[in-house]
Amino acid sequence: MSYVFDFGATESDKHLLGGKGAGLAEMTKLGLPVPPGFTISTEACRVMLSEGELPEQMWKEVDEAVARLEEKTGRTFGAGPVPLLLSVRSGAVFSMPGMMDTVLNLGCNEEVVRALEEWSGDAHFAWDVYRRFLQMYGDVVLGVPDRHFQAVLSELRGKRGVDSDADLTADDLRDAAGRFKALIREHADRPIPSDPREQLRGAIEAVFHSWNNRRAIDYRRIHGIPDDLGTACNVQMMVFGDLGDDSGTGVCFTRDPATGAPEPFGDYLPRAQGEDVVAGIRNTFSLDQLAELHPGPHAELLDIMRRLEQHYRDMLDIEFTIEKGVLYILQTRVGKRTAQSAVRLAVKMVEEGLIDRNEAIMRVDPDSIEQLHRPQIDTSADVAPVTTGVAASPGAAVGRVAFDADRAVEMAADGNGPVILVRPETTPDDIHGMAAAAGILTAQGGKTSHAAVVARGMGKPAVTGASGLVIDNSAKRALCGEHDIREGDMITIDGTNGTVYVGEVPLVEPEETPELAELLSWADEVRTIGIRANADTPEDARKARALGAEGIGLARTEHMFMGERLEIVQTIILTQDPEIRQDALDRLERQQVEDFEGILEAMDGLPVVVRLLDPPLHEFLPNRMELEHEILRRVWAGRSVADLQRMWSEVARWEEDNPMLGLRGVRLGLMFPELYRLQAGAAAQALVRRIRAGGDPHLEIMIPLVSTAPELERMREMVEEEIAAVAAEAGLELHVPIGTMIELPRAALTAGEIAKAADFFSFGTNDLTQMTYGLSRDDAEGVFLGDYLEQQILAFNPFQTLDTAGVGRLIRIGTEEGKAANPDLVVGVCGEHGGDPASIAFCMEVGLDYVSASPPRVEGARLAAAQAALSRGEAERRDV
Amino acid sequence: MSYVFDFGATESDKHLLGGKGAGLAEMTKLGLPVPPGFTISTEACRVMLSEGELPEQMWKEVDEAVARLEEKTGRTFGAGPVPLLLSVRSGAVFSMPGMMDTVLNLGCNEEVVRALEEWSGDAHFAWDVYRRFLQMYGDVVLGVPDRHFQAVLSELRGKRGVDSDADLTADDLRDAAGRFKALIREHADRPIPSDPREQLRGAIEAVFHSWNNRRAIDYRRIHGIPDDLGTACNVQMMVFGDLGDDSGTGVCFTRDPATGAPEPFGDYLPRAQGEDVVAGIRNTFSLDQLAELHPGPHAELLDIMRRLEQHYRDMLDIEFTIEKGVLYILQTRVGKRTAQSAVRLAVKMVEEGLIDRNEAIMRVDPDSIEQLHRPQIDTSADVAPVTTGVAASPGAAVGRVAFDADRAVEMAADGNGPVILVRPETTPDDIHGMAAAAGILTAQGGKTSHAAVVARGMGKPAVTGASGLVIDNSAKRALCGEHDIREGDMITIDGTNGTVYVGEVPLVEPEETPELAELLSWADEVRTIGIRANADTPEDARKARALGAEGIGLARTEHMFMGERLEIVQTIILTQDPEIRQDALDRLERQQVEDFEGILEAMDGLPVVVRLLDPPLHEFLPNRMELEHEILRRVWAGRSVADLQRMWSEVARWEEDNPMLGLRGVRLGLMFPELYRLQAGAAAQALVRRIRAGGDPHLEIMIPLVSTAPELERMREMVEEEIAAVAAEAGLELHVPIGTMIELPRAALTAGEIAKAADFFSFGTNDLTQMTYGLSRDDAEGVFLGDYLEQQILAFNPFQTLDTAGVGRLIRIGTEEGKAANPDLVVGVCGEHGGDPASIAFCMEVGLDYVSASPPRVEGARLAAAQAALSRGEAERRDV
C-alpha cells in the first residue's frame, strides 16, 4: 500500500486524499493548469495517530515523489539553475479552515536564494521568498512566535519610512532574513535546517501533528468531526504571484456567494503571494479589473470556472496564481454561501440543468431559511458590539429599551417607534411585552430558554444570556461594561449572531427570494411527513398557513388566561361566592369562544389541535415573596393586612417545590373540572359558529401531561360530555378527535394502554426531554448546561436536537405500541424539536405522521423533511 | 349446568360456592353437624351481572332444593307441624365481612308462628322469631330503615321497664310484630309477602343485588377484589340458639388470634341468635364457662375444632349454635390474627407437623413484621383519638410536644422524658430533631412523605397528614378541634393506625416473639435475592445487621453535611479565601473519615455502598425568603445589611425553580469536584484505617443522578484518582467497586452504555418513579395524590408499590441491557420499594441481585423475598 499519490495519478478519493488533495487530483485529471505535486494520504496520519510516528515507508515514497516532481518540472529541489520550491499544506476530509498548518516557499537556503535571484533576475523577489520561508517555518515548525518576526519587519519599515513589506528593498529583506535566522537560533531548540529535504521532513511532520493542536481539536468538537479521521498533506510546486508585474494571486467564486447572482466574483492582487490577499494589506482588484490587466489569463480563468462548475455541478471557490502571465489553479472547493444565495443557486442550477430538483433540495441548510425573512445588521456599518450572547432567534432589531412587559406595551403604543424588551430572563408573565416588542434581550438563558423559544415562535429577533449585562429592574437601568443603559435608550440586537449594540445600527431589510417558493414546492413533493405549526393566535395561524403549515399541531391556551383576563381567572380561583364564580366562568367562556373561532377560521379546512390548560395553577396567582414583602411592609407600618391574608393563603396553598412535577395539565383538569369543561365547551361552540358560517373547521382537543390511561379516559368522558351538550343545543353532529400529549416517560412506556382512549398522540418533546434526563431546561441553562456541552459530557443540547438514544427510544416505543393498539392513531411531535432538521429525520424514521414547528420554522421543516425523505430513499436504494 | 348445590353434594370449590358455601360443603362432607342447606353459586350472580337478572332455571332448582331440604329435615317450609325456617346469607369468594346482606328466620307468617309456638311450646320464642324476621326482611329486602323498628322496641322496653329485648313478653313481641307490619306498609313500596316462597325469592334477590351496593363496591376497591367475581348465596335450615336455656350461640377461634397461644378461645351467649353476640348487648361466656353449662356440646366443639384444624391446617374462626343441647356448626373460615399471633402460629404448626416450613413462610404478612418490635396502644384503654392521619410508621409513642427540631433535641436531653416532634411537614433540616424524638406527627404529607420515609428508616412511630391539625410554629402552638396544644403538652400517637390522642395513653411494650428468628431463618434458606439495608450511621448499620441485612445498599452522605457541620459547608460555599476554604475542606474530610469508618466497622465483611452527595447545593444555604425578610427588617430599621447581601446573592444564585430537576447528584460533583473528591478520599482513608485495624471492609462508591455515560466515566476517573492517591500513601492495594444509581429514565434507557463504566447499578426507584410519572412525591401527596387513589385514577400509590408497567419496565430494560453489556454488573434496588413485598417479587422476576430496605423493613423484606421465591417456584412447577 502506498502513502503518496501524485496529483491525478489515482482516484480522487476525498477520504484518502483529503478535500484539497482530491480537488487537486481531479483538476489535474481535467487537464487544468495545476502546479504538479503529490498528496501524502490520511492513512499516513492515522498510522501516526495510532503508532505515535509517521510510517518509515512514507519517507521513502516522499523522496521518490520529489524526484518525479523534479523530473516533471525540470527544476531542482535545493539547487539551481531553476530551484524547485514547495508548498506543504494540510488538507482534511472535512474542511477545517485555518485550523492546521501550512509551510510555503520550502526548499530555500542561501545558495537557493542566489539561484532564484539569477533565475528571476530579481533580488527583491529572491530575498522576499527567503524571508517568507524563514518566517513561516520558524513559526510553524520551530515554534518561534510570529510577533518576533513582525517586530523586525516593523522596525525595517520604520527605518525605510514605508507602510508595506512590498516596499522594502532587497537589502532590507536580506537583512531581515539574517535577523530571522538569529531569532530562530535564539528562540527555537534547533536551528533552521539548510538541507531542503530536512526542511521538507520537518514541514510534513508539523502538518500532520497540527491535526492534534488545541484549536483543531476544539473545531472538530464543535463541528462533530471524528478525531480519528486524520488529515492528508499536500506537497506542491510553488508558483509565484510576486514575480514581477505580470504576476499576481487571487481568489474567486464561480457565482456571487452573497446574493446567488450567476456572475463570477473575485479578488486579485498583483505582485503578491496568497497570504497577502488574506491579510488584506492592500486593496484588491475585481475580476473586471483583472480582465483589463491580463485579458488572456482572465478569459482562461472564466473558462476554467465554467468547466469546474459543469464538473462539480456547484458554485465553487477557487484559488489561482498568475506567474509571469501564466495562470495556475491552486485549489478549488465548494463555495460557502449565504442562505439567500444557497436558495437562488439551487433553483437556478436546476433551471440550467446542472442539477436535478432533489439535488437542489439537498443543497440548502433548512436552519438557514428562517434568516431569509428577517432584517440583518448592515455589514457595511463600522460598529462594534458592546456584548455578545446566545443567538437565540435570528434577525436584527433596533428599538428603545423597556425593562418590563407592561412598559414595553405602553411604549410600543406611543408612536415613537419600536421597543426592545430587556429582562434578566422572561416568564409567561412577559408574553404581552414580548408580543409588543421588536426584539428581546435577556441577561440569562440559552437557546432553549423561555425567551428564546417564545421569540422564535413569534418570529422576533432575540439575544439571550448576554454576558456582562447587569439589569436592575427596579431602577430601570442596565449596566454593560462602561455603558449605562436607561429606559428609552436606543439599542440594536442581532439574533443571527448574538451581538448587542448600544445606539441605532443600520439594518438591511430582507430581500425577497422568489426562488424559495419554488424550492419548497419541490420539497413538498418529495417529503413523506406532514408539517404543522404551533400557533396560539389567529395571526400566528394565518402566518403559519402562509408559510405552508398543513394545520396546527399545538394551540396552547394558557396565554388566553393571562393579560387582562388574569383578574377573571384569579376571581375564579379565589372567590367563595358561587354566583361571582359562575359569572367569571361565563365571561371567560365567551372570550374563549372567540379565541378558538379565530384560529379555526384562519386554518379553515385544516386540523387545529387545541391543548387544554397546562401550567400549574399558581402561575395565575401573584408571587408569594412579593406578597410577603407587602404584608411585612404594611405590618411594620401598622396598617391592616386582612385583605392580603386570604390571597397569601391561596398562593401558599398552591405553591409547589417542583411545579414542573406538580399539579398541572390533566391533573389540574381532574381537580378543577370547571376549567377544562369551560375550554372544551368554548371550543365546541367555536366549532358550531364556524360551521354555521359555512366554514370547514377541523377541531381536535388535546389533553396534556397524561401518565395513566384512566386520566385520559375520564377527561375524554368529560370533554365529550361538553361537546355533546353543545352539539345537542345546536342541533348539529360534531366530530372532535380527542388525543393526548405524550410528554412523560410513563405515557410512552404505557402507550399501548393510553392509545385505546386516544384518537391521536402528540409527543411533547420539551417536557419528555426534561423528565427523561431529570433536568429542568430553565434551571440547567442558567447554571451548568453550557459547561456540560463544552466538556462534552453532553454531545449536543437535547433541548434543541432530539436525544435519540433516550428520549427517541421512548418516542419509538410510544409510536409503535400506540399504533399497534390503535391502528387509526395519528402521531406527531409538537416540541421545539419539531423544527429541528436532525430531529425531523428521526421522527420520519420512527414513523410519525407529522411534526409541528413554530411558524418561522415551518419552511425549514418542509425542506428538512424533504431532505430526510431523500436521504432515506438513498439509504434504501443502497440497501437493495 | 346447575346453579344450586346441596351442602356436601359437590366439590368444595370456593370460586363456585364462595368461601362460606365451600366451608359448609366441606364440613358437611366431614360429617360435622352442619344444618342442611344448599348454595346458589357465584355463576348465578355473574349471570345477573351480565344479563341484568338471575337465570330462570335457578329458581326452578331452588324450588327443588327446598323440597329436598323439607324431605331431609322432616320439616315443612311455610307450615306446621314443624316449620322449616331458613337463613339466607351471602358468601363471596374473598371474605367481605358485613358488606353484603343476610336474612334470617325466613319462612315466617302468622300461621307459621302459631305452628312454631305449638312445636316449641314457647310463645315468646315464636313471636320473637317472627318479629326478628319482619325487622330484618323489612330492612334488608324492603328498604325500611332499621331505626323505625328500633324505635318500636325501645318504646316497648320502656313501657315494660326492661333493658333487653329478651325481657319483653310474648305479648309485647306479638304487638311488635303487628306494628312492624304496619311500618312496612307505611314505608315500603310493597307489603311483606306472607308466602314463604315469595319471601325466599325476595331474600335471594336482595343478597345477590347487595354485591353492588355502595359499601361492597368500596370494599372491593380498597382490597383489590375484581367486580366481576360475584357472590354466592347460602340457604340453610335455621337452628335456634334462643330456644330455651339449653340453647345458645357462639363464636370461637381454634387458637388465640391475639397471641397465637395454642388454646382455643371463644364467646358463648345462651338464649340468643348469632346477631345478639355481635351486637354485644349482653356479657358473653367463655369456653370454660360453656364447658360447665354444656359439657357434652363443649367437648364435641373442642373435638370439631381439632378436626377442622387438622383438615384446614390453619387456625380457624367458627360460628356455632346449640339448639336444645345439640351442637350445630354454622360457618368456619381461616381466622384473622395479629402479627405476633401469625408468626407464632406458623412456627408452632410446623412443630406440630400440620404444615411445612414453606407453608409457614407463606402464612405471615411481611408488612406486619415491623409491628412486632414497636409499642402499641393498650387496646383496653378507653380513649378516643382527637384526629386521624396517615399510618406512616408503625408503633405508638407518648411524649411532650416540641414544635421544632432544635427544641426537640433540647427537651429530649432535659431528663423529663420523651418528646414528640410536631411539624407542618419535615425537611432534611429536621433530621436531628426526628432522631431525638420518640415519635413524629405532621399536619401534611402521606405515607411516602419525608417524615414518613425518615421515621420508618429510624424505626420511629409517625403519623403524617393529620387532618384538622393546624400548627402555628412561631407561636409554638397547635390547634386540633377544640384542643389547644402547647409546647410540652403530652400527646400520644399511634403510627400503626394513624390515630392521635391528647394526653398520655397507656402503651403496651412489644413482647418478644422468639419464633420470628426461626421463621426468618427458614425464609433465608429459600429466598434467592439478597437483602441489604439503607443505613447512614453506624448505629443504623448495626441495627440493620442485627435484623439480618447482608450489607448496606445505600449509605446517604448528605446528613453528614448537616447539623453542626452546616457551618463548615457554608464556609466552603461562601468563602473567597482559598486558605479558609481549604481549612474547612480539611476539617470536613477528617470528620467524614470517621463517619465512614464507623459504618464499615459495623458492616465488617459485608458490602457498604456509599452514595456521594446528592441534594441541590442550595439545601445547605439559608432560606431565601427568611433572608429577605431579615434584610427588609434591617433596611426599615435603618441598619446595615452589607453582611447579608453576599449571603443573599449566593442563595439567589443557587436557587432553582425545580430543584429536583436541577444541579444535584453527579452534576454537583462535576461542577464542584472538591466535594466529591473529599468524600471519595475520606471513604478511602476509612477503608485504610479498617484494614490496618485488621477488619474486612467492603467499600463501594455510588454516583447518583447519572443520565449519560460520560458523567459516570469522568466521575469514576476522579474518584479513582482519589482512591489511588490514598492507596499510594498508605502503601496498600485498595479495591473499591464504583457504580451508579439508575434513577433517571434516560439512565435506564441507555443502561448498555452506562454499564460499561459501572461495577454496579442501584435503581433509585423513588426518583425514577417521580421522573417516569413527572410527579413530585412531596408536592402531589399534599394536594391530589389522595384524590387520585380514591378515584382509582391511580390503582395504587406508585411511591409505595413499584409501578411495573412504567417504572418496572425501565428497571427491566436497565437490568437486561446493563447485564448484557457488563456481565459482572451487580444490580440492586435502594428506593422505598426495596422494602415493599409486591415490589420485591417484581425485582426477583426481573433478575436483580438484591433489594435494600430501611432497617425496620429488613425482616419483612427477608420474608417477602422468600414468599416471592416460593410463588415463583410454584408458578414454574405449574408451567412444567
Q: Mind listing the pLDDT tens digit for each residue in A646-679?
A: 777 777 777 888 989 999 999 999 988 999 999 9
Helix, strand, coil share of chain B (percent; to 5): 50, 15, 30
Higher pLDDT, B832 or B47: B47
Asked if the model's pLDDT at residue A187 lies above 70, the reply is yes
Nearest CB partner across the interface for B744, out of A659, A746, A774: A774
Kindly give, in sequence order, each residue whose CB lies less than 8 Å from that of residue B841, ignoring residues fewer than 6 positions away: B864, B867, B868, B871, B872
Give the sheet arrangement for strand A316-323, strand by strand: A265-270, A248-253, A316-323, A326-334
Q: A705: which chain B residues are within 8 Å (Cβ-Cβ)? A: 774
Report residue B489's pLDDT band, with 50, 70 and 90 as the boundaries.
Answer: very high
Q: Phi-psi region for residue A51, left (φ > 0), alpha (ψ -120 to 50) or beta?
A: alpha
- The stretch B226-244 carries a mean pLDDT of 93
**Cα A151 → chain centroid:** 39
For B85-112, the pLDDT digits (tens) are 999 999 999 888 778 889 999 999 999 9
What is the spatial distance between Cα A17 and Cα A10, in angstroms, rounded to a whole number?
A: 10
Burial class (CB within 10 angstroms; exposed 0-12, middle 13-18, buried 19+) of B577: exposed
Q: How far is CA B455 from CA A362, B436, B507, in A?
A: 63, 11, 19
Residue B225 DSSP one-character state: -
Q: Is B563 a residue whose pLDDT tops 90?
A: no
Whether residue A380 is predicted with pLDDT greater than 80 in this model: the reply is no
Mean pLDDT of chain A: 91
Among A283-287, A544-548, A851-855, B629-633, the least confident range: B629-633
Averaged over A430-452, what is the pLDDT? 85
**Residue A687 CB-density burial (10 A; 0-12 exposed, 13-18 middle, 19+ buried):** buried
Q: Which amino acid is at B163?
A: D
- Considering only A662-676, B454-468, B498-512, which range has the smallest mean pLDDT? B454-468
The model's pLDDT over A762-809, given as tens digits with 9 standing for 90+, comes to 999 999 999 999 999 888 876 788 788 878 889 889 999 999 999 999
> Any idea which residue has 523530473 for its cell?
A71
Grade residue B222 by pLDDT with cuts at 50, 70 and 90: low
Residue A518: Cβ within 10 Å count: 17
Which amino acid is it at A552?
A: I
Q: Helix B709-730 crosses helix B673-692 at what angle (to 10 degrees)?
A: 40
The CA–CA distances, whole Å, from A218 to A40, A97, A283, A792, B708 equal: 24, 13, 33, 11, 21
Q: Can you read off the three cell numbers belonging to residue B161?
A: 321497664
Instruction: Give which of A773, A790, A802 to mutate to test B binding, by max B Cβ within 10 Å.
Output: A773
**Minimum CA–CA partner of A767 in chain B:** B774
Say how many C-beta atoms besides its own lie within 10 A of residue A373's C-beta: 16
- For residue A793, what is the nearest residue in chain B, using CA coordinates? B710
**Residues B621/B573, Cβ–Cβ less than 8 Å:** yes
> What does the buried/exposed string (b/e) look like for A251-279 if buried means 16 or more CB atoms within 10 Å of the residue's CB?
bbbbbbbebbebebbbbbbbbbbbebbee
Contact: B767, A779; criterion CB under 8 Å: no
Q: Min CA distance, B788 vs chain A (Å)?
A: 9
- Catalytic residue flag (residue A311): no
Q: Exactly one of B124, B294, B298, B450 is catalytic; which is it?
A: B450
- Confidence (pLDDT) at B623: 76
Band the pLDDT of B879: cuts 50, 70, 90.
low
CB-based contacts of A803, cutoff 8 Å, min separation 6: A769, A772, A773, A796, B746
List CB contacts (< 8 A) between B632 and chain A.
629, 632-633
Q: Which residue has the cell 408580543?
A: A435
In whole angstroms, give the CA distance from residue B104 to residue A513: 92
pLDDT higher for A566 or B839? B839
Q: What is the mean pLDDT of residues B423-438?
A: 85
Residue A694 has pLDDT above 90, yes or no: yes
- Please give the C-alpha separations between residue B499 and each of B379, B386, B424, B462, in angstroms, as whole numbers: 13, 8, 17, 10
Chain A residue at shortest CA distance from B810: A749
Higher pLDDT, A646 or B442: B442
List, for residues B797-815, the tens digit of each pLDDT value: 899 999 999 999 999 999 9
Task: Measure Cα distances from A610 to A572, A662, A689, A828, A872 in Å.
Answer: 22, 22, 16, 14, 32
Bridge partners of B763? B742, B829
* Nearest chain A CA: its distance from B607 CA (Å): 29
Given a cut of 60, whether residue A880 has pLDDT beyond it is: no
Supply the mean pLDDT for chain B: 91
Q: Which residues contact A805 (CB under 8 A, 6 or more apart)?
A: B746, B749, B750, B753
Chain segment B513-548, per-residue pLDDT in tens = 899 999 999 999 999 999 999 999 999 999 999 999
Q: What is the per-residue pLDDT across B349-373, written as a single tens digit (0 to 9) for each?
A: 999 999 999 999 999 999 889 888 8
Specify the higher pLDDT residue, B497 or B613: B613
Burial class from Cβ neighbours inside 10 Å (0-12, 13-18, 19+) for residue A478 reads buried
Task: Give the pLDDT of residue B280.
Answer: 56
CA A504/CA B349 separation, integer angstroms = 93
pLDDT-derived band at A396 (thresholds 50, 70, 90) equals: very high
Residue B473: count of CB within 10 angstroms of its CB: 12
- A-chain residues within 8 Å CB-CB of B625? 624-625, 628
CA A652 to chain centre: 43
Tell whether the model's pLDDT for residue A165 goes beyond 90: no
Q: Would you call A779 and B662 a contact, using CB atoms and an 8 Å cutoff? A: yes
Per-residue pLDDT at A282: 67
**Whether A145 contacts A260, CB under 8 Å:** no
Q: Round to whole Å and give the CA distance between A376 and A372.
A: 9
Please give the pLDDT value at position A782.
67
Helices (H), A121-268: 123-140, 146-160, 170-187, 196-209, 214-223
Catalytic residue among A124, A294, A450, A618: A450
The pLDDT value given to residue B792:
81
Distance (Å) from the alpha carbon of A760 to chain B's nearest alpha carbon: 20
Q: Which three cell numbers stand for residue B167?
A: 325481657
pLDDT tens digit sequence for B705-750: 999 999 999 999 999 999 999 999 999 999 999 999 999 999 999 9
pLDDT at B619: 81
Which of the residue ranges A327-331, B255-259, B869-873 would you say has the lowest mean pLDDT? Answer: B255-259
- The answer to whether residue B120 scores a pLDDT higher than 60 is yes
Name which of B661, B778, B802 to mutate to probe chain A: the one with the most chain A Cβ atoms within 10 A of its Cβ. Answer: B661
Angle CA A632–A635–A639, to nearest 5: 135
Residue whose entry in the numeric block shows the C-alpha cell 407587602: A630
Considering only CA atoms, which of B424, B442, B441, B421 is closest in space to residue B433? B421
CA distance A17 to chain B (A): 33
State residue B637's pLDDT score. 78
Q: Does the annotation mark B830 as catalytic? A: yes
Interchain proximity B662–A809, CB inside 8 Å: no
Rounded Cα–Cα distance for residues A444 and A434 (Å):
16
Q: What angle do CA B102, B103, B108 make, to 5 degrees?
A: 170
Q: Is B745's CB within 8 Å of A794's CB? A: no
Please tell me the distance from the alpha carbon of residue B763 to that of residue B765, in angstroms, as a whole number. Answer: 6
The total number of residues written for chain A in this structure:
880
Among B480, B430, B419, which Cα is nearest to B452's?
Answer: B430
- Three-state DSSP at A475 gives coil
Residue B604 Cα distances to B600, B686, B690, B693, B734, angstroms: 6, 12, 9, 11, 16
pLDDT tier at A324, thresholds 50, 70, 90:
very high
**Whole-angstrom Cα distance, residue B606 to residue B598?**
13
Share of chain A above pLDDT 70, in %: 98
Report the C-alpha gap between B142 and B198 in whole angstroms.
13
Instruction: Convert the pLDDT of each residue in B201-211 to its tens digit.
Output: 999 999 999 99
- Determine, for residues B743 and A772 on separate chains, whether the beta-carbon distance falls below 8 Å: no
The C-alpha of A710 sits at a distance from chain B's nearest C-alpha, in angstroms, of 5
- What's the pLDDT band for A338 if we cut at 50, 70, 90? confident
Distance CA A418, CA A461 (A): 13
Confidence of residue B573 (pLDDT cuts 50, 70, 90): confident
User: Is pLDDT above 80 for A446?
Assistant: no
The DSSP bridge partners found for residue B762 are B741, B828
**pLDDT confidence of residue B467:** 79
B445: left (phi over 0), alpha (psi -120 to 50) or beta: left
Cell of A187: 528562540
Residue for grid cell 346449640: B322
Backbone angles phi, psi at B508, to 5 degrees: -110, 120
Is residue A839 packed enough to be buried (19+ CB in 10 Å), middle (13-18) or exposed (0-12)?
Answer: buried
R_g of chain B computed on alpha carbons: 33
Q: Which three cell numbers stand for residue B386?
A: 382527637
Report chain B residues whose CB lies below 8 A from the CB of A792.
710
Mutation for A interface: B717, B771, B809, most A CBs within 10 A: B771
Q: How many CB pairs under 8 A join A and B?
A: 183
Question: What average pLDDT score do residues B297-301 get?
Answer: 97
Q: Considering only alpha carbons, which residue of chain A is nearest residue B626?
A: A625
Q: What is the mean pLDDT of residues A500-512?
A: 89
Q: Are strands B499-502 and B387-388 parallel, antiparallel or unpaired?
A: antiparallel
Between B795 and B72, where is the model more confident? B72
pLDDT band with cut points at 50, 70 and 90 for residue A279? low
Q: Return the pLDDT at B265.
A: 86
Q: What is the pLDDT of residue B754?
A: 98
Partners of A628 on chain B (C-beta within 8 Å) are 625, 629
Q: How distant is the alpha carbon of residue A604 from its chain centre?
A: 34
Test the A interface: residue of B474, B625, B655, B667 with most A CBs within 10 Å: B667
Cell of A69: 516532481
Nearest to A771 among B628, B771, B788 (CB): B771
Chain B nearest-CA distance from A714, in A, is: 8
Contact list in A for residue B778 (CB cut-off 8 A) is 657-658
> Are B633 and A633 inside 8 Å of each other by CB?
no
pLDDT at B876: 65
pLDDT of residue A633: 75
Kindly state the cell numbers that stand for A480. Answer: 454593560
pLDDT confidence band for B878 (50 / 70 / 90): low
Nearest to A815 by CA among A757, A873, A749, A875: A749
- Could you report the per-residue pLDDT of B747-789, keeping only the tens digit for each? 999 999 999 999 999 999 999 999 999 999 888 876 788 788 8
For residues B638-646, average pLDDT? 76
